[in-house]
Copies of this chain bind each other. A is one copy, B any other.
Amino acid sequence: MENFDLLNPTKLVFGRGTIARIGEEILAGGHKKVLLIAGGGSIKKNTVYDQVIASLKDSKIEWTETWGVKPNPVLSKVREMIKEAKESGAEALLAVGGGSVIDSAKAVAVGLYIDDVWQAFEAKKPIEKAMPVYSVLTISATGTEMNQYAVVTNEEEKKKWNIGGPALYPKVSVVDPSVQATLPWNQAVNGALDTMSHIMEYYFMDGEAETALTLNESLLRSIIKMTDKLKLDPNDYDSRANLAWAATLALNGTSGAGQAGGDWACHGIEHAISAINPAVAHGAGLGVVTPAWIEYVQDTNPDIFRRWAENVWGGKDIKDGVVAMREKIKEWGNPTTLAEFNIKESQVEEIASNAVDFGLTGSLKVLTKEDIMEILLLASPEV
């Protein structure tokens, strides 16, 4: 088992009816004016916006608003919001939305203290200074509500890169799973696949860490079981809540403890895919890449891949696990090949170059550009 440090200063407020508490939490943090950062307007349809505003008013918190963050959030929008944050006189940021909204808020929080925010992405150093970020999460998937990371796409340079550091933990994150009842089915599936990928990025590192391995297997099984249950009844609160809690655990330090930092090649490859085609949802991309990655790297440590096939999918050998995972993704209605994203064979080299350029090319097996091209070809028999 590998050494690790764990310090997670985010306060998580989890459960039904908890959005009403965001105002008092911001007040307790000593802030009287916030910039509310949001996406395309779904929070106005599902009552989240009204609940947030009522809570801000109750606690006499002033606010201004900025809208328009999109999935796979982009640098140009972050730069625009940094200007707005400066002009607003906000003392803290309040992200209301999914992972893209919270990640954008984190990037804004950093950008307020440096010349240009992209410098922080290029520097690849821990972020030590940022404006406090509060969040109300509306889609459980990325785990950003309780971690120190943010991912933004530089659309000019086609780079989907991340930043991380102690200043990026949200002060308080409110997760009310009941508001996720109105999410489209495919977004729930993408969230589940993103969560599963976070867990697997750590899991396959193995390292004689029985507690971490069995804990991560149990999280994977719970996600599969709860997603199946949600398919039968989208209004089942407990399925949403269990998925939401698993998504937070997957990337708040719990899943990864003792797992040597994880592998992250699948994330690197997926980022390269959605940098080139922003219509690819992160979770959907991971669902296509991960089984192909397993097929390609399995010989590096067959024991851990066999254990995964047995304990997560009830299979006998590695192939059973890969087949079961692809079948489950199909059953949930999600793509299992790159062809379904309209990715052409001619783009495979560009994607591989992009992934290598960012540097997240694996730890269990460090992948070359050629390795990544092989994986991309395995991911799409129809290419």
Instruction: Tell me whether A346 is interfacial, beta carbon within 8 Å.
Output: no
A242-B1 in contact (CB<8A): yes
* Chain B residues in 8 Å Cβ range of A232: none
Instruction: Tell me whether A157 is interfacial, beta carbon within 8 Å.
Output: no
For residue A321, give the distance in angstroms from its CB to the closest CB of chain B. 18
A211-B246 in contact (CB<8A): yes
Instruction: Tell me whether A368 is interfacial, beta carbon within 8 Å.
Output: no
Nearest CB in chain B to that of A13: its residue:
B5
Query: In the complex, A258→B219 CA distance in Å?
Result: 15
Instruction: Tell me whether A366 is interfacial, beta carbon within 8 Å.
Output: no
A12-B5 in contact (CB<8A): yes
A212-B245 in contact (CB<8A): yes
* Chain B residues in 8 Å Cβ range of A243: 211
For residue A284, give the distance in angstroms from its CB to the closest CB of chain B. 23
Report A233-272 CB contacts with B as 1/0, cut-off 8 Å.
Answer: 0000110011101100100001001100000000000000
Report A194-230 CB contacts with B as 1/0, cut-off 8 Å.
Answer: 0000000000000011111011011101100110000
B8-A14 in contact (CB<8A): no
Report A1-34 CB contacts with B as 1/0, cut-off 8 Å.
Answer: 1111111111111111110000000000000000
Q: Which of B7, B16, B211 contacts A226 (CB 8 A)?
A: B211
B6-A11 in contact (CB<8A): yes
Query: In the complex, A18→B6 CA distance in Å?
Result: 13
Counting contact residues on chain A (CB < 8 A from B), the size range is 35 or more
Nearest CB in chain B to that of A9: its residue:
B9
Interface core residue of A4, A241, A257 (most chain B CB under 10 Å) = A241
B211-A1 in contact (CB<8A): no
Q: Which of B210, B219, B258 contacts A215 (CB 8 A)?
A: B219
* Chain B residues in 8 Å Cβ range of A249: 211, 215, 254
B1-A18 in contact (CB<8A): no
A6-B12 in contact (CB<8A): yes
| CB within 8 Å for A245 and B14 given contacts A9-B9, A221-B214, A238-B209 | no
A222-B211 in contact (CB<8A): yes
Q: Could you give 29 example pairs across A and B, Cβ below 8 Å?
A: A1-B177, A1-B237, A2-B15, A3-B14, A3-B16, A3-B17, A3-B18, A4-B12, A4-B15, A5-B13, A6-B12, A6-B14, A7-B11, A7-B12, A8-B8, A14-B257, A208-B242, A209-B238, A209-B245, A210-B225, A210-B242, A211-B222, A211-B249, A212-B245, A214-B218, A214-B222, A215-B215, A215-B222, A241-B258
Give the B-binding residues of A (Cβ under 8 A): 1-18, 177, 208-212, 214-215, 217-219, 221-222, 225-226, 237-238, 241-243, 245-246, 249, 254, 257-258
